[in-house]
Amino acid sequence: MFGLNRKDATLLAIVAALIVFAPFILNPFPAESGWAQFNAGYPDLMQRFVIFGIFAIGFNILFGLTGYLSFGHAAFLGVGSYAAVWMFKLLSMNVIPAIILAVITAGLFALVIGYVSLRRSGIYFSILTLAFAQMSFALAYSVLTPITGGETGLQLALDDPRILDAAAAGGNIPVPSLFGMEMRDSVDLTFGAWVFTFNFGYYFCGLVMLIAFYLSIRIFRSPFGMMLRAVKSNQQRLNYTGLNPRPYTLAAFVISGMYAGLAGGLMASMDPLAGAERMFWTASGEVVLMTILGGVGTLIGPVLGAGMIKYMENIISKINSDILHTWFAFLPDGLEDVVVGLIYPFIGKGWHLTLGIVFMLVVIFLPGGLVQGGQKIAAVFRRRSANAGGAEAEAAKQNPAE
Amino acid sequence: MDAIILQILNGLDKGSAYALIALGLTLIFGTLGVVNFAHGALFMIGAFCAVTLSRLLSLSHQVAVPGEVDFLGNPKMREVPYAYDIFGENLGATIIDWAVPLSILFAIPVMIGIGVIMERGLIKHFYKRPHADQILVTFGLAIVLQEIIKFYYGANPIPTPAPSAFVGSFDFGALIGFDPGTIIYPYWRLVYFAFAVVIIGAVFAFLQFTTFGMVVRAGMADRETVGLLGINIDKRFTIMFGLAAAVAGLAGVMYTPINSPNYHMGMDFLVLSFVVVVVGGMGSLPGAVLAGFLLGILESFASMREVIAIVPGINQVVIYLVAIIILLTRPRGLMGRKGVMED
């Protein structure tokens, strides 16, 4: 199917099913119950899941395949956002031209930065990308204020030209749309005590992510992808074979920059404003965390990692000590306080601490991320059920995380 | 002329901080070959050592004021720091006033301890892993340390004043024959600079003139041969890690009066310190110090109004711009040695 082998086609189908049914899967608790705060099925968060999924998929094409660790990828996301918002301001509220421009601008930006940065490798490459991203951030904050809106960020205004659209009716700022269908349109489906929200913007992002995911599978399986893996495993040998790795790594850099631009454009399409803080180096660090956590070099890993971090950021961070006390109310008073006191630093505002610890554990013990962890567990079960002396586990070891 | 001197002076304090952090980073990199992204966190922990000590010293208890009652007839209460009880009123007040410099004594063992635990507990297992893994795990560690500090001290900056003897500025211009009032410079920044020079000098002297330092330098040049000579080089390198942590921590302690410490100050300095290390040349100690001061001064020159008028925004990007140019034209940095991290 679509030029994929059966395994990849299954993976693609699973991702498609996850995207389609996400409003159900992420809303397992009735709307009025005490557990409703763990429901992640609201449009804003679901959009973020898929948008950061795209960002991480793109980052993985660079880091997972070539091993070049970029610490400045958020710059491309920021540039994409700015480009998209400018398109909304100047041309039309339709998201298609905005996203196209976002991808192209980010791609060009990545071409320039990549051309310079890829002259070095290893830690120097990391620091060069970091320096470029920090420079873009500083410039967007200060000198480029006419273009970027500086500290307030770039916003839509009533008197924007928008040459393709009719004048804004009723003095309201128009919202991004796809040929008349507004991104924020939602349909609520009530099913007993459960409420499921189907948001047009989310499904649009989901479709884009599916295409992005499909493209990344094709890149992973292509001769080009093999070439990138060769760069990762031994660049020197590649040189000695008479092949110049630079064009390949540069292409990978530009592609992953375009993915980041796409994510930025989508972000602006969901909420038409762009700020410089999206380019700050911690934002670049976040996509690194996502990719590693999920499983670097695997297809599905970055999406899982992005989902996990965004879930923690939005859901775990909301738990406060009162909620903890109600959970552990069944314990004797003294013990309750002790348990709550032990857990409290790791949730709520301290979710970063949990993230940092989980991330360290993953880097130390599971370099293949959650995907590798899943494979290991699966291998244990298979060995037990098949009782075949671990032949398959051996096979799993030889085919590292894909 | 006076403007130039003023900018050089302004660059010195930031440059000192860059130089001290970069020195520690280079020590770790040169000895253990590890890229330590948690070094900024060590700087931050040092700063919070000062906060902790000044809080400990000003712990107080309530004492009734004899002969005075409030309108309910209860004796009036007054906060008296325990330091007054232990050291007497005058000495106690002085000690509280000098909390930040005193923190140096407190921070050295703490930082060496943290450094040794970090190296033995975590970094040791990453010598053979790729540099990307080292960056990632220390990045994770930095997040964890930062969040622990945030949990105990909150997210807001905590003002920690310098001893009152060093509060205020002095007229540097009048001292060297300019018109009074042209070059005004805060005392504490001068103290910071002097302190940085002393620390840097001490580290270099330690490496240059002691047997221990000689062994460490030999190990930096060729670890294997030193090991074959029957010297336990790992143990010495662990101590060097502790020492590098202490240097970063002391830089943090003394920086508190200049900039109120908050939990992410380490990360802010880390990015720039890495740039400094790269500009100076990976693994070169004099290079790190030189680049630290140079970039600090360059940054303060770039923020002059006259310069900004010509090239707007240059003050924000000058360091990164210099780093990019250096990396592309002199890949080894200003004073990098051949064969050190050239991939």
Give the count of domains, chain A.
Answer: 1
Banded model confidence at residue A401, pLDDT cuts 50, 70, 90: very low
User: What are the angstrom distances between the C-alpha of B237 and each of A274, B63, B119, B244?
Assistant: 47, 51, 9, 10
Q: Which runs of consecutive H residues, i.e. helices, occur in B33-182?
A: 39-57, 82-87, 89-97, 99-121, 131-153, 172-175
How would you classify the pairing of strands B75-81 and B60-69? Answer: antiparallel
Banded model confidence at residue A29, pLDDT cuts 50, 70, 90: confident
What local confidence, expressed as pLDDT, does residue B114 receive? Answer: 92
Q: What angle do CA B162, B163, B168 make, to 5 degrees?
A: 70
- The answer to whether B327 faces chain A, any CB pair under 8 Å, is yes
CB contact under 8 A, B313 and A116: no
Which chain B residues are within 8 Å of A360, Cβ to Cβ? 137, 140-141, 144
The Cα of B48 is separated from the nearest Cα of chain A by a number of Å equal to 18
- The answer to whether B137 faces chain A, any CB pair under 8 Å, is yes
- The answer to whether B156 faces chain A, any CB pair under 8 Å, is no
Range of the domain at A145: 6-278
Pick the residue of B26, B272, B343 with the most A CBs within 10 A to test the interface with A by mutation: B343
- d(CA A292, CA A304) in angstroms, rounded, equals 10
List residues in chain A touching B: CB distance below 8 A: 67, 69, 116, 119-124, 126-128, 130-132, 134-135, 138-139, 141-144, 281-282, 285, 288, 292, 345, 350, 352-353, 355-357, 359-360, 363-364, 367
Give the number of beta-carbon pairs within 8 Å between A and B. Answer: 106
Banded model confidence at residue A169, pLDDT cuts 50, 70, 90: low
Helix (H, G, I), strand (E, B) or coil at A157: coil
Put simply, the chain B residues between 1 and 40 with a CB less than 8 A from any chain A CB are 35
Which chain B residues are within 8 Å of A357, Cβ to Cβ? 140, 144
* pLDDT per residue rounded down to tens, chain B (343 residues): 777 888 888 888 888 888 988 998 888 888 888 888 888 899 999 999 988 988 888 888 777 777 777 777 777 777 777 777 777 777 888 888 888 888 888 899 999 999 999 989 888 888 888 878 888 889 889 989 988 888 888 888 888 887 877 777 777 667 766 777 677 778 888 888 899 999 999 999 998 899 998 998 888 888 888 889 988 888 888 898 999 999 999 999 988 888 888 888 888 788 888 888 888 887 788 888 999 999 988 888 888 777 777 777 777 788 888 888 887 788 777 877 665 555 5
The Cα of B248 is separated from the nearest Cα of chain A by a number of Å equal to 20
Answer with the residue of higher pLDDT: B334 or A209: A209
How would you classify the pairing of strands B169-171 and B184-186? Answer: antiparallel
What local confidence, expressed as pLDDT, does residue A53 receive? Answer: 92
The Cα of B153 is separated from the nearest Cα of chain A by a number of Å equal to 13
The Cα of B147 is separated from the nearest Cα of chain A by a number of Å equal to 5
CB contact under 8 A, B267 and A121: no
Report pTM. Answer: 0.85
The Cα of B93 is separated from the nearest Cα of chain A by a number of Å equal to 36
CB contact under 8 A, B139 and A288: yes
User: What are the angstrom distances between the C-alpha of A18 and each of A118, A210, A347?
Assistant: 36, 10, 27
Encoded tokens for A76: 């491309």
A58 is a domain residue: yes
Which chain A residues are within 8 Å of B341, Cβ to Cβ? 122-123
- d(CA B119, CA B208) in angstroms, rounded, equals 24
- Residue in chain B closest to A72 (alpha carbons) equals B271
Banded model confidence at residue A84, pLDDT cuts 50, 70, 90: very high
Q: What is the mean pLDDT of residues A114-132?
A: 86
The Cα of B148 is separated from the nearest Cα of chain A by a number of Å equal to 7
CB contact under 8 A, B144 and A367: no
Of A120, A281, A360, the CB nearest to B271: A281
Banded model confidence at residue A250, pLDDT cuts 50, 70, 90: very high
- The answer to whether B139 faces chain A, any CB pair under 8 Å, is yes
A327 is a domain residue: no
**Range with the lowest mean pLDDT among A11-20, A193-202, B243-252?**
A193-202
Q: How crowded is residue B156: how many other Cβ atoms within 10 Å of its Cβ? A: 10
Q: What is the mean pLDDT of residues A226-235?
A: 88
CB contact under 8 A, A134 and B271: yes
* E strand or H helix that includes residue A29: none
CB contact under 8 A, A359 and B143: yes
A329 is a domain residue: no
How would you classify the pairing of strands A186-191 and B75-81? Answer: unpaired
A355 is a domain residue: no
| Domain locations along chain B | 2-329
- pLDDT at residue A273 is higher than 70: yes
- d(CA A125, CA B18) in angstroms, rounded, equals 21
The Cα of B237 is separated from the nearest Cα of chain A by a number of Å equal to 22
Q: What angle do CA B126, B127, B130 make, to 5 degrees?
A: 75
- Please provide the DSSP assignment of B234-275 as one string: HHHHHHHHHHHHHHHHHHHHHHTTTS---TTHHHHHHHHHHH
The distance of Cα B52 from the centroid of its chain, to the nearest Å, equals 17
What local confidence, expressed as pLDDT, does residue A212 receive? Answer: 93
Which chain A residues are within 8 Å of B324, Cβ to Cβ? 116, 128, 131-132
- Residue in chain B closest to A133 (alpha carbons) equals B320
Q: What is the CA radius of gyration of chain B?
A: 23
Longest dimension (CA), chain A: 73
- d(CA B287, CA B334) in angstroms, rounded, equals 6
- The answer to whether B224 faces chain A, any CB pair under 8 Å, is no
Banded model confidence at residue A148, pLDDT cuts 50, 70, 90: confident
CB contact under 8 A, A126 and B267: no
- The answer to whether B116 faces chain A, any CB pair under 8 Å, is no
Of A243, A251, A276, A292, which is closest to residue A63 (Cα–Cα)?
A292
- The answer to whether B63 faces chain A, any CB pair under 8 Å, is no
Of A67, A119, A359, the CB nearest to B328: A119
- Residue in chain B closest to A280 (alpha carbons) equals B268
Banded model confidence at residue A166, pLDDT cuts 50, 70, 90: low
Which chain A residues are within 8 Å of B139, Cβ to Cβ? 285, 288
Of A130, A134, A363, the CB nearest to B136: A363
- Residue in chain B closest to A368 (alpha carbons) equals B133
- The answer to whether B295 faces chain A, any CB pair under 8 Å, is no
Encoded tokens for B172: 């540097």
What local confidence, expressed as pLDDT, does residue A400 receive? Answer: 47
E strands present in A166-302: 177-178, 181-182, 186-191, 194-199, 273-274
CB contact under 8 A, B343 and A121: yes
In angstroms, how far is the first alpha carbon of chain B from the final one?
43
CB contact under 8 A, A122 and B139: no
CATH number of the domain encompassing residue A162: 1.10.3470
Q: How crowded is residue B292: how many other Cβ atoms within 10 Å of its Cβ? A: 28
What local confidence, expressed as pLDDT, does residue A171 receive? Answer: 66
Pick the residue of B35, B324, B329 with the most A CBs within 10 A to test the interface with A by mutation: B324
- Residue in chain A closest to B149 (alpha carbons) equals A353
Of A119, A127, A138, the CB nearest to B275: A127
- d(CA B192, CA A5) in angstroms, rounded, equals 65
What local confidence, expressed as pLDDT, does residue A114 receive? Answer: 92
Average pLDDT, chain A: 83
**Range with the lowest mean pLDDT among A200-214, A284-298, A322-336, B34-48?**
A322-336
- pLDDT at residue A402 is higher than 80: no
A378 is a domain residue: no
